[in-house]
Chain A
Amino acid sequence: MAEKFKLTIVTPDREFFNEEADMVEFNTTEGEIGIYAGHAPLTVIVKPGILTITQGETVRNAALHAGFVQILPQEITILAEIIEWPAEIDEARAEAARQRAEGRLSERNGIDIARAEAALMRSIARINAAKMK
Chain B
Amino acid sequence: MASMRDIKRRKSSVQSTQQITKAMKLVSTVKLQRAKGRAEKSKTYFNCMYETVVSMLSKAGDINHPYLKANDSSKKAVIVITGSRGLAGGYNSNIIKLVRDNEWNKDDLIIYPVGSKGRDTFARLGYEMGEDYSDAIEEPIYADAMKISNQVLDDFATGKVGEIYVVYTGFKNTVTHIPTRLKLLPIKIEDERSDDDKAVLDFEPETEDAIELIIPKYITSLIYGAMIEAVASENAARMQAMDNATNNADEIISSLSLLYNRARQSAITQELTEIIAGAQAIS
A residues with CB within 8 A of B: 8, 10-15, 28-30, 40-45, 66-68, 70, 77, 79, 81
Contacts and interface: CB of A to CB of B under 8 A. Distances in A.
Nearest to A33: B204
Given A42-B203, A43-B202, 10 more contacts: A11-B45, A12-B45, A12-B142, A41-B200, A41-B202, A45-B214, A66-B217, A68-B52, A70-B48, A79-B217
A30 B205 contact: yes
A70 B201 CA distance: 9
Contacts of B202: 40-43
Nearest to A29: B205
A15 to B, nearest CB: 6
A68 B213 contact: yes
Interface string B205-240: 100011001100100110010000000000000000
Given A41-B200, A42-B201, A68-B213, A14 B41 contact: yes
A81 B141 CA distance: 11
Contacts of A30: 204-205
A105 to B, nearest CB: 20
Contacts of A68: 52, 213-214, 217
B188 interface: no
25 contacts: A8-B44, A11-B45, A11-B142, A12-B42, A12-B221, A13-B142, A15-B41, A28-B204, A29-B213, A30-B204, A30-B205, A41-B200, A41-B201, A41-B202, A43-B56, A43-B201, A45-B210, A45-B213, A68-B52, A70-B48, A70-B52, A79-B45, A81-B142, A81-B146, A81-B220
Given A68-B52, A81-B142, A13 B42 contact: yes
Given A70-B201, A81-B217, A15 B210 contact: no
Contacts of B51: 70
Interface string B21-48: 0000000000000000010011011001
A40 B145 CA distance: 33
B217 A77 contact: no
Interface in B41-76: 41-42, 44-45, 48-49, 51-52, 56
Given A68-B214, A79-B52, A10 B45 contact: yes
Contact of A43 (B52, B142, B146): B52
Given A41-B200, A43-B56, A68-B217, A13 B205 contact: no
B48 A10 contact: yes
A42 B41 CA distance: 26
Nearest to A42: B202
A30 B204 CA distance: 7
A13 B41 CA distance: 6
Given A42-B204, A45-B210, A15 B48 contact: no
Nearest to A77: B48
Nearest to B44: A10
A67 B205 CA distance: 14
A31 to B, nearest CB: 10
A60 to B, nearest CB: 20
B262 to A, nearest CB: 59
Interface in B133-157: 141-142, 145-146
Nearest to A72: B201
Contacts of B52: 43, 68, 70, 79
